[in-house]
Chains A and B, each alone.
Chain A
Amino acid sequence: MIQMYHVFKSFAAPAAALEDITFRIEAGEFAVLTGPSGAGKTTLLRLLYAAERPDRGHIIVNRRNVTRLARRRIPEFRRSIGIVFQDFKLLPTKTAFENVAFAQRVLAIPEREVRRQVANVLKRVGISHRKDALPPQLSGGEQQRIALARALVNEPALILADEPTGNLDDTLAQDLMALLYEVNLDGTTVLIATHDRKVVASAPGRVLTLDHGRLLSS
C-alpha cells in the first residue's frame, strides 16, 4: 500500500527534515509512526498525501507514484485516501453533515446517495445525533469523529492520521483508536503518526520510529 525508497526532504533549516527513508506498509496493515516532536512525522505524512514533494527518492501510495504525480492529478489521488488531522480541519461554517458530505460532493455523487452514505458513516462513528451542529458547537472528541467520518465516507483503501488523539483526553483518545482499529479490521490500511506513548503501546500493528528525520526502526 505504501512504499518509500530512499526519500530525502529538507526545508530551509540546515538539518534535513527526512533523510534516506525506506519502508513498506502492506495493504490491510495497521502501523504507527512515532518519534519526538520535530522528528519528521508530519512531513512524512505530507509527502504521502502529496502536500510536499521529496527532494530525492520515490514514494508509491496505493500503486501510484506520488513523486511523479502531476499537479492536476493530486485531487483525484487524495480522494483515494482518507486523512485525519490533530486540529480536525473541519469547515467551520458547514454543519457536521455538510462537512462529511463535502468529501462525497467532490466526487459528484448523486445527492440522494450522498445523504444515504453520510448518514451511514455518521452512525458508524456514533455521531448521528450531532449532524446539524457546526464544528464550533462540537467538543473535540465529536469534531474528531466527524473528521474520521469524512475520511471514511468514500471508503478509502488507506487512512492517514496525523496526531489524531493530540487534542483529546485519554478516554476520547481510546474511543478514537478503537474506531480506527475497527476500520482496519474491515480491510482499510491505517497509518497513524503520534508521539503519544499510550497510543503506541496499545497499537496492535507495526511501529515505525523516526528521530531527527531518520527512521530508527520499521
Chain B
Amino acid sequence: MYYLREALRNFYRHRRVNTVAIFVIATGMLLVSGVALAYVNFRQFAASWGRQVQMVIYLHDGLTADRLEAVRMVLSQAPETVSVEYTSKDQAMQQLRARLGEQAKILQGLHTNPLPASFTVTIRDEFRQPDLLRDRVEAYKRLPEIEDIDYGERWLERFHSLVWTLEIGVIGIGGIMGVAVMFIIATTVRLALYTRAEEIEIMQLVGATLWFIKVPFFLEGVLQGVFGAGLAVGLCYGLFTALMTWVQPMGGLLLDLSLVQFLPLSVIAGMLLGGAFLGGLGSLFSLRRTTASA
C-alpha cells in the first residue's frame, strides 16, 4: 500500500517529466497500434476472401442415381468438406442462361446440353491451402465418375503467397517497431530518472534498501506505460474513426468496408499490458544504473 501511494504521489509530483514520458511512450505505441490495426484488418479480409474458395467437381454424363449418391457420400464425408451442393445439367444450363441474360440467344443453336452436372464443395478454413487441396483433388480425380475439378488453383496459390508475404512483412515491421519503441521508452524513463538521481542518492543515504526505492519507481514506470499505451489506443481510435468517416462515402468500390474493424479488446489489453511491462522494465533497468553509483 505504501509503495502504491508513494508511486501515485510521485507520479503527480513529477507530472511534467511524467507527461513528457507518457507522450513519448504514446507516440511509440501509436506506431505499434497502427501496425496492429493494419494486421488485424488484413487478417479479416484474408479470411473473408479465403471463404470464397470452393471446389467444383464436374461429373461425367449419364451417371445413375446410385453412382451420384456414392460420389456425394464420398465428398460429404471428406474432412475438408463443410457442405456439398449438387447442380444438375439442367440447373447448370439455367444458371448459364441467367448469367448471359439477353445474350442467352446464342444458346438456342445447341441441340444437346453440353454442360456437365457438378458438385460444389465448400472447404473448411484449415484446408484452404494449395498443397492440401491439390492432394485431395488428385485423389478425387481417380474416381471414374469425375471428369474434372476446378478449385481456382492459380488464384489460391497467388492469394496464399500474398498472405504469406504480407504477414511476414507485418511481423517484421512490427518486430522492428516494437524493439525501437522499447528503446525509446527505456531511454525516456532513464532520462526521467536522471532528473531524480539525487533523490535516489538521498534515499540510499537515509538507509532505504534498494527494493524500498525501486518498487515505487517501478510502479511509476508501469503507470507511465499504461497511460502511454492507453493514450496511444485512444489516439489510434480517433484516427481510425476519422479515416472511416472519410472513406465511407467512397466505400465498397474496392473493399467490403463492413469487414473493417478496430483493434479487438484482447489486442487493446495486450497493448496496455505491453505498455506496463515496457514502462516497468525501463524503470528497473534505468534504476540499476542510477543506484549502482550511490
A contact set with B: CB distance below 8 Å: 49, 51, 72, 75-79, 83, 89-93, 102-103, 105-107, 150
Contacts and interface: CB of A to CB of B under 8 A. Distances in A.
Contacts of A107: 207
Contacts, number: 47
Chief secondary structure at chain B's binding surface: helix
Interface in B278-294: 294
B205 A89 contact: yes
B202 A106 contact: no
A93 B202 contact: no
Interface of B: 2, 10, 13-14, 198-199, 201-210, 212, 294
A93 B10 contact: yes
A106 B205 contact: no
Contacts of A76: 207, 209
Contact of A78 (B13, B198, B205): B205
B206 A102 contact: yes
13 contacts: A72-B209, A77-B207, A78-B204, A79-B207, A83-B205, A89-B201, A90-B202, A91-B202, A93-B13, A93-B14, A102-B208, A106-B203, A150-B206
Contact of B199 (A51, A78, A91): A91
Nearest to B206: A103
B61 to A, nearest CB: 89
A79 B212 CA distance: 13
A72 B210 CA distance: 9
B202 A89 contact: yes
Contacts of B204: 75, 78
Contacts of B13: 93
A103 B202 contact: no
The 9 closest A-B pairs by CB, nearest first: A79-B207, A78-B207, A93-B13, A106-B208, A75-B209, A75-B207, A89-B202, A103-B206, A106-B207
